[in-house]
Amino acid sequence: MRILEPTNRYQLKFELSNTELHVANALRRIIISEVPTMAIEIVEVTENTSPLNDEFISHRLGFVPLMSRHVDMFDSHDMCKCEGFCSKCSVRYHLYKKCPPDQDNCDVTSNDIKLEPGQPGMNIEVTPVRYTDSKGNEEHPILIMKLSKNQIIDFTLIAKKGIGRKHAKWSPVATCIMRAEPIVELDQDKINQKMSLEHRKELVKRCPKKVFAFKELRSVVEIENADACTLCNECIKFTQEEEVKIDNAIRIDEKEDKFIFTVESTGALPPEDIVLKAFEVLARKCKTI
């Protein structure tokens, strides 16, 4: 495994090599659906005078990402010995908001979800994710709904541990993309000697991903960013056009043992933690088999 781009809080791009497609795809599926997180599962409605029904609001609340770095400290609700919900398997929150009579409307956001006193989450940060930009400045919270004048919502929320295979709200990623590493090869003699100057420049323009670059100093085409290739074959189609007609000038393929992953976290877990936990799950599955 090799990191391809500097990691940030929400995205990780890495290369997985010396493995096979089925193993890489198993890792991708585990990242999406089997890394545990915390998410709101139960919503107890005390009062709701908003125009949205209880079920709709509950569905939106379930998809608010919760900080889950300490998810291993909680037991799965199915495995817990308690009769209902206890501090070992759940975290309780309170959501109360009333639109003041002197305002036409107000926002209900993820910042309004407050931990109930005495909850384990008070010490281990099982709280709604607060997003920050590249400079560390806090971004706007997640908008759940809007209230009009004098409208009230009063909910008690219970978060549980789960995995994305059971429901998407427990998935720690917004997306996880895997693709084989591309192979891009140029026959320099055919491209830079048999092809006219105008056609060389046109070849570079035809690539939608800017894989090639035209070097003005030497008037040659070179490979600039092979990893960006999506195997669209636009460059090969250009070399086969009637005006150009140069065979085997470019070779486009993909490696069978090297894969590029892009993991985008919801913020519940850092992307590097998601990948490491996915490796643990994959190793455990292999051991079980």
The number of C-alpha atoms within 13 Å of 147 and in the hemisphere containing its C-beta is 22
Q: What's residue 12's pLDDT? A: 93
Bridge partners of 44, per DSSP, are 156
| pLDDT given at position 38 | 94
Nearest Cα residue to 73 out of 36, 41, 42: 36
- Picking from 279, 282, 280, 263, the residue whose alpha carbon sits closest to that of residue 271 is 263
* Claim: this prediction has a pTM higher than 0.85: no
Domain boundaries, the chain: 37-169, 188-248
Topology (CATH level 3) of domain 188-248? Alpha-Beta Plaits (3.30.70)
What CATH topology corresponds to 37-169?
Answer: RNA Polymerase Alpha Subunit; Chain A, domain 2 (2.170.120)
**Interior CA angle at 51 toward 46 and 56, to 5°?**
70
Cα distances (angstroms) measured from residue 51 to each of 99, 152, 153, 197: 13, 10, 11, 65
Residue 195: both structure tokens together: 């092809």
- CA atoms within a 13 Å half-sphere pointing along the CA-CB vector of 236: 12
Residue 94: predicted pLDDT: 94
Angle at 193 between CA 191 and CA 198, to 5 degrees: 70
Cα–Cα distance for residue pair 20/257, rounded to 1 Å: 5
Query: E-strand spans in the chain?
Result: 2-3, 11-17, 37-48, 90-98, 105-109, 113-115, 143-148, 152-162, 173-186, 212-215, 220-223, 250-265
The token pair that represents 273 in the structure block:
């933690």
Dig out the tokens for 56 from the structure: 């709709």
Contact (CB, 8 A) for 267 and 24: no
d(CA 142, CA 178): 28
C-alpha 268/C-alpha 281 separation (Å) is 18
Q: Give me the pLDDT at residue 122, please.
A: 47
Q: What is the pLDDT along the chain (289 residues), one digit of tens a residue?
A: 999 877 678 999 999 999 999 999 999 999 999 999 999 999 999 999 999 999 999 999 999 999 999 898 888 877 887 877 787 888 999 999 999 999 999 999 999 999 987 665 445 678 999 998 878 888 999 999 999 999 999 999 999 999 999 999 999 999 999 999 899 998 888 888 888 888 888 988 988 999 999 888 888 888 888 888 888 988 889 888 888 888 888 999 988 899 999 999 999 999 999 999 999 999 999 999 9
- The pLDDT value recorded for residue 230 is 87
pLDDT for residue 119: 60
Q: Which helix (H) or strand (E) holds 61?
A: helix 54-62
Collapse the DSSP code of 246 into the 3-class scheme (helix H, G, I; strand E, B; otherwise coil) and give the result: coil
